[in-house]
Structure 1
Amino acid sequence: VTPDIVLKQFGEYFFEFCKLSGYDNMLRALGGNLYEFIENLDALHRYLSLSYQEMNAPSFRVEKKDNGTMHLHYYSDRQGLSHIVPGIIKAVATDFFNSEITMEIIHQIEEEERTGKKEHVVFLITQKPSFSLKRPSKLSSAPQHCANMTSQLEKLLNKKDLEKEMYKIRSKQQQGSFFISNKKHWETVRSIVKLGKGKLLRGFEPVYPETLCIDIKTFCNVFPFHIVFDEELAVKQTGVNLQKIVPGLQTISIRLDQYFTIIHPEVKFTISSVRKFINSQFVLRTKRNMMPESWRNCPMLELRGQMVWMESLHFMLYLASPLLRSLHELEERQMHISDIAPHDVTRDLILLNQQRLAEMELSSQLERKKEELRILSKNLEEEKKKTETLLYAMLPKHVANQLKEGKRVEAGEFKECTILFSDVVTFTNICSQCEPIQIVFMLNSMYLKFDRLTTVHDVYKVETIGDAYMVVGGVPVPMASHAERVANFALGMIIAARGVTNPVTESSIQIRVGIHTGPVLAGVVGEKMPRYCLFGDTVNTASRMESHGVPNKIHLSTSAYHALKGKGFEIIGRGEIEVKGKGKMCTYFLARNLTVSDNEIMGWQVKEPESGQESVQSLRDSNPFCSEARHCKGKARDSESYGSLHSNEKSGDDAYQLTQETAEKAIARPFTGGTRARRLRSSFCLLV
């Protein structure tokens, strides 16, 4: 297959592609016949170039010949694409105008223009009409002539309308009143024309007056931006407003190219180049050095219009109007709406475009507001997450979720739970000998380790005050294994405390741990700062177990001992001791868990190096919770929120559902004398 055939076929498919892409109506509106269609292709390309800035469109010029053929002149900067044109034009003729054409190249040459060489190809177009009509020889044969015309139009007209009109004609003929007078004859002709929806079958022949019925002065005022020049580009006539803006044009026979340059199409400013692209819209721009002083700092005036060659005078008429798109451009050139002719659509374009610009500005503002709203919505979501994080730090997760849903949370009684208290031994002395920031770092390091253990053993951190740490098992989600979980957590606390350095002695800190099992009342108290609070003697007894404990020991009450008895823990009896406010109590020390290792208690990963299984890793390196802790900045909130945020509050038992109310979370702490931290706890106990 030769390239010519491929390009022609491509032209046909490209036409179909344009129709499918939504340009069907636009293409049909270009002209009522093939000549008009081709003549307006350049205008279409000019319009499309506003949307497609990089488009390098060809140019078309068509000439009618006396024998009915047409010469199509094709100009393009791109070589070798001329054979696409026959494919497109043939497809247009067949689809839009129901006619067949033949196209052949009769001339092909390269011409030098301003932008370089252009390919100039001339096609001979021979168009075959879709049908032909024969004129009647005599008026007396009008009925037969009408019948012939009707038969030839059967394919174009609606059959029902045709039968209806033919029935009327036959009825009149049978009545003997058909074509009796000349008037009735023209009524019949009019009915035939009406049958064709007003389209005459013969070609349109315009009527021209013998003399021009407009004087020169009126013409120059009605078309204030027109220019008439000869083959040497000498200006013969100009519009009045153009003379006002460019006074030099008032000089007789001044050359047009001294004052203007051609912006579009990109051709040389010669009469021959202009005639080659006469179907194109011409855009001329004034030269700055030829403008008056008042225009030197203004944008140059651009004119857009068509070139019309007047063969009888050998003059070229440039019928143009200012190329303006907005009131701003009009003001920049010190012009007014009144400078534009009333019939010029540039007036409407400027005003409509001004309205469009205002709508675009509103649309742009709307888009900006939408973007701001999107950003605000995103920020709102982030703030909501922070709020939820803070809420989960103060309240159990499921309780916080119920509060978010607007449900009331009523206090609930838990028949059995296990409470743990711990504090740092000699914390008051450490505070007196260290900088405050050192205390903050020490407590933060300790709390991060403890918070991780709350997740490992699924217990709930109730409160931290100073060096005191309070944990409960079985609340807010009841579970049968609450005592074992708290006991394992306590063993983990002792191990974790070894990794926290005392800033005074540079050795590991020592902690006391106390555990008690019993019933409590739990609920949310407060509105401004709601807190999940535990009430009851169990809280006070657990605090007493801690305050009467021994450093690095886990002190158990009798009820806690019975809850852990027989469950794999090594428990050592302490005997009876005097407990403040409780009298004598038999207490115990929790030594270790016989069924699990320290690594399992700490939640560390274990891997055998030779077998490829996990070995003991450091807490920070192996545990995912500690990897998150590495990003904490040593602030108190890091440790305060960590356990609550990461505790899932799951249970092996069925969850005990609490109804909710908005309240302030406060910790019931028993009174003990001694350290500064204990005095802090005593105020809560007095409140309870």
Structure 2
Amino acid sequence: LFICQYGQIHCVVRELVTVKFGQETWETILAESGLNEDDHFLVFNQYTDDDTFQLVGAVAKCLDLPLTTVLEVFGDYFLTYCLRHGYDKMLRTLGSDMWNFIQNLDSLHSLLALSYKNITPPSFRCETGPNKELLLHYYTVRPGLYPIVIGLVQAVGRDIFKQTAEITVLEQSTEEIGGKKQEHTVFQVFYISSHFNSHSFDGCKTDEDITIERLSPIGAETVTACPVDPIQMCPFKSSTPANFQLSSEQFCSAFPYHIIFDAELNVKQCGFKIKALSSVFSQPVLKMKQAFQIIHPNMSLSILNIKKFINSVFFISVLKTKEKKNMTLKGQMIWLEDSQHMIFIGSPRITSLNELLEMNVYLSDIPLYDVTRELVLLNQQRIAEIDIAKKLDETTTELKKTSKALESEKKKTDMLLYQMLPQKVANQLKNGQQVEAEKFDQVTILFSDIVTFTTISAACSPLDIVNMLNNLYERFDNLTNQHGVYKVETIGDAYMVVCGVPESTKNHAPPVARFALDMIQDAAQVKSPKTGKPIQIRVGVHTGPVVAGVVGVKMPRYCLFGDTVNTASRMESHGLPGRIHISPTTYHDLKRHEFLIKRREEMHIKGKGKMSTYFLVGEKHPMKEPMDAYTQFAITKTNVPISGARIIYGHMDPGKMASKTCSVM
């Protein structure tokens, strides 16, 4: 929660979802949230609360869970994430028990603020309830996040102190603190360990010997509490003179950055280093608001507000200093009950060597006992490391984007290559392998061309012809994907497809037949630029063996060779406008399916002799036929055997026909 504005919170949500629900669920949530994987998950980048709430809301919506449940689970998992990502020792040494752990969370936030700039952390305060339970006060400027605390406190008890927490919300209110509305939630917390029923946060108040197991981050340790003489409990007290005192000068010298003020906020005493910052401290009566401004916690300066955040680290700005930049002090507020005064003991809040120069402060101005000296030097190194980590994070993201862009371009290149060559063949060529010619025993080949294309070309401009062919071939290309046939090539108005190559299949004729039926219908949707009327095509189909291979090195082409190619071309050239002309072998392969066929009279095919061929007119239902001499011919279903017809593959009967491919007897 203390780095809620940073991308690390988004990373926790991502890890939580992927671990518990899987990558697919996370991708759904990411799409719902509208966030980008590359831009919204940089650990050291800051994001608006709206982005974070949008992501959490998407989790609740996609998982169909109440938002409070999602936040509670997030709080529980957040501790697990921190323990696994380098914060384990820091958290395990924060406090010896739950009370001290929570009391020091604000100090931890202050420490982390050195690395994570501009964070707006919540604040925690503990007190003992009437039943010796822990009353946890939670202040935040982000309303509605209190379920996170429930999950977080339960996880701390379970994973750090080996206790079971029972936590409930006692009351909620909204308070105006420092000009900002803050949600104030009070939780009632009971802890149950395996050795005793309840955990008291009020200490041991009995005169009998009691054995207590203290559950600490290091492990369990047994402490025996025995009734002893009060004087023996504090040997230093017994040896101290009753009138021992420090003079004001000695105190101001020992604590050069302290402030003492009363309940009316009248400044009573300051360390000599603070007095040297401004002439305002020479006034006989000085109010805190005249010389100081509380930067953190964000609140109005009053004794009541200070007591609310008494366990917080306070940042106090010294106003009207002699330097260009006001000095900020970091320290602790302590309420002196006997004298009814508040004392602030601190030191300059300096996070880098640059700030030392800006404030005209030297390391020698900081007391030797103050760890600020070491923190400045260590934080200077830490800032450099974070800058490097941030640049590395951004560079990694850019590399991921570049990698995705390259992958996208590679897919486009592969897609273009697969449109020119079969995928299997293209992959072999990409891998530097030689593509051997391959023989296929049975394939079905289709040729088509446009009727009167020469006349149309002579009467129209080249641009009109290109547009017409592009419109037509785009429709045909879509049909190849639908029917699973391979487009071999286009030459002018000729369009060639095959099925059974390059992947061999026994079911090769029906896909080509269905493709042919659809291409007749789609061709009717394209109009001739000459007449404005729908164009007509001729289609020829033949089935037989082929040899396939890659020809050429520059612009290689995947070509088919064999008499089957010639015969398919003859079927097209001897066909009729608007009809699908098929050979006897194709007819034989379609007999097992419910295609509708019209038998054509025996005719002479150039280079083949006489052949009995057929017209394909539909599947189950006849298509719209052109008005020609074959319109009135009877339709035969291919799955009904035709008596007296026998096809012999691989033979030629000179008495019946001159085809080298097949004979019909």
TM-score bin (small chain): 0.5 to 0.7
* SS of structure 2 residue aligned to 1:319: strand
| Letter of the structure 2 residue corresponding to residue 245 of structure 1 | L
* SS of structure 1 residue aligned to 2:377: helix
Structure 2 distance, partners of 1:477, 1:114, is 75
Q: What displacement does 1:321 show? A: 1.0
* SS of structure 2 residue aligned to 1:245: coil
1:413 has 2:439 as partner: yes
* Aligned pairs (5 A) from 1:286-301: 286-287=318-319, 290-292=320-322, 294-295=323-324, 298-299=325-326, 301=328
Structure 1 distance, partners of 2:351, 2:313, is 16
What is the aligned partner in structure 2 of residue 534 from structure 1? 560
1:461 has 2:487 as partner: yes
What is the aligned partner in structure 2 of residue 576 from structure 1? 604
1:28 has 2:96 as partner: yes
Spell out, residue by residue over 1:427-477, the C-alpha distance to the aligned partner (whole angstroms, 9 max, x if none). Answer: 244234445554344223322443455456554321123321012244334
* SS of structure 2 residue aligned to 1:350: helix
Normalising by structure 2, report the TM-score: 0.53
What is the aligned partner in structure 2 of residue 423 from structure 1? 449
Q: What displacement does 1:407 show? A: 6.2
* SS of structure 1 residue aligned to 2:473: helix
Structure 1 distance, partners of 2:352, 2:467, is 67
Structure 2 distance, partners of 1:495, 1:275, is 86
Normalising by structure 1, report the TM-score: 0.51
What is the aligned partner in structure 2 of residue 204 from structure 1? 234
1:304 has 2:331 as partner: yes
Structure 1 distance, partners of 2:482, 2:353, is 73
The structure 1 residue matched to 2:383, chosen from 333, 357, 361, is: 357
The alignment's C-alpha RMSD in Å is 5.7
* Aligned pairs (5 A) from 1:611-630: none
Structure 2 distance, partners of 1:476, 1:392, is 12
Kept in 2: contact 1:434–1:504 (CA 8 A)? yes
1:394 has 2:426 as partner: no
What is the aligned partner in structure 1 of residue 258 from structure 2? 226
| Letter of the structure 1 residue corresponding to residue 490 of structure 2 | T
1:375 has 2:401 as partner: yes
| Letter of the structure 1 residue corresponding to residue 96 of structure 2 | R
1:586 has 2:610 as partner: yes
* Aligned pairs (5 A) from 1:64-79: none
* Aligned pairs (5 A) from 1:626-637: none
Kept in 2: contact 1:228–1:236 (CA 8 A)? yes
Say which structure, 1 or 2, has more relative contact order (CA 8 Å, 6+ apart): 1
Spell out, residue by residue over 1:254-278, the C-alpha distance to the aligned partner (whole angstroms, 9 max, x if none). Answer: 5655322456679997899989998
Spell out, residue by residue over 1:507-532, the C-alpha distance to the aligned partner (whole angstroms, 9 max, x if none). Answer: 12122334455432102345664432
Spell out, residue by residue over 1:475-520, the C-alpha distance to the aligned partner (whole angstroms, 9 max, x if none). Answer: 3344556456545644554444333211210112122334455432
Distance of aligned partners of 1:154 and 1:272 in 2 relative to their CA distance in 1, 3 Å threshold: closer
* SS of structure 2 residue aligned to 1:500: coil
What is the aligned partner in structure 2 of residue 241 from structure 1? 273
Kept in 1: contact 2:266–2:288 (CA 8 A)? yes
Structure 1 distance, partners of 2:514, 2:297, is 89
Distance of aligned partners of 1:529 and 1:131 in 2 relative to their CA distance in 1, 3 Å threshold: farther
| Letter of the structure 1 residue corresponding to residue 235 of structure 2 | E
What is the aligned partner in structure 2 of residue 504 from structure 1? 530
| Letter of the structure 2 residue corresponding to residue 28 of structure 1 | S
Structure 2 distance, partners of 1:588, 1:400, is 39
The structure 1 residue matched to 2:367, chosen from 341, 353, 360, is: 341
Distance of aligned partners of 1:468 and 1:232 in 2 relative to their CA distance in 1, 3 Å threshold: closer
1:285 has 2:303 as partner: no
* SS of structure 2 residue aligned to 1:357: helix
Kept in 2: contact 1:324–1:330 (CA 8 A)? yes
* SS of structure 1 residue aligned to 2:368: coil
| Letter of the structure 2 residue corresponding to residue 291 of structure 1 | T
| Letter of the structure 1 residue corresponding to residue 373 of structure 2 | R
Spell out, residue by residue over 1:333-357, the C-alpha distance to the aligned partner (whole angstroms, 9 max, x if none). Answer: 4444443233212222333333333
| Letter of the structure 2 residue corresponding to residue 586 of structure 1 | K
Higher helix share: 1
What is the aligned partner in structure 1 of residue 549 from structure 2? 523
Distance of aligned partners of 1:273 and 1:585 in 2 relative to their CA distance in 1, 3 Å threshold: closer
What is the aligned partner in structure 1 of residue 469 from structure 2? 443
Q: What displacement does 1:534 show? A: 0.9
Q: What displacement does 1:391 show? A: 3.4
Structure 1 distance, partners of 2:126, 2:619, is 93
Structure 1 distance, partners of 2:337, 2:499, is 104
Distance of aligned partners of 1:208 and 1:452 in 2 relative to their CA distance in 1, 3 Å threshold: same
For structure 1, the residue ranges without an aligned partner over 5 or more in a row are 1-16, 32-36, 62-72, 79-91, 97-112, 119-124, 133-151, 157-195, 602-688
* SS of structure 1 residue aligned to 2:600: strand
What is the aligned partner in structure 2 of residue 675 from structure 1? none
Kept in 2: contact 1:553–1:590 (CA 8 A)? no
| Letter of the structure 2 residue corresponding to residue 324 of structure 1 | I
The structure 2 residue matched to 1:319, chosen from 331, 340, 345, is: 345
Kept in 2: contact 1:555–1:587 (CA 8 A)? no
- Identity over aligned residues, as a percent? 42
1:597 has 2:621 as partner: yes
Distance of aligned partners of 1:448 and 1:284 in 2 relative to their CA distance in 1, 3 Å threshold: closer
Larger Rg: 1
Structure 1 distance, partners of 2:538, 2:482, is 21
Spell out, residue by residue over 1:516-569, the C-alpha distance to the aligned partner (whole angstroms, 9 max, x if none). Answer: 554321023456644321123443454355446554455567877888899973
* SS of structure 2 residue aligned to 1:301: strand
Structure 2 distance, partners of 1:383, 1:285, is 56
What is the aligned partner in structure 1 of residue 63 from structure 2? none
What is the aligned partner in structure 1 of residue 496 from structure 2? 470
* SS of structure 2 residue aligned to 1:503: coil
Spell out, residue by residue over 1:201-221, the C-alpha distance to the aligned partner (whole angstroms, 9 max, x if none). Answer: 931221447998999878655
| Letter of the structure 2 residue corresponding to residue 536 of structure 1 | G
Distance of aligned partners of 1:243 and 1:558 in 2 relative to their CA distance in 1, 3 Å threshold: same
Spell out, residue by residue over 1:603-642, the C-alpha distance to the aligned partner (whole angstroms, 9 max, x if none). Answer: xxxxxxxxxxxxxxxxxxxxxxxxxxxxxxxxxxxxxxxx
Kept in 1: contact 2:106–2:123 (CA 8 A)? no
Q: What displacement does 1:249 show? A: 2.3
Q: What displacement does 1:30 show? A: 9.7
Kept in 1: contact 2:105–2:124 (CA 8 A)? no
Q: What displacement does 1:241 show? A: 3.3
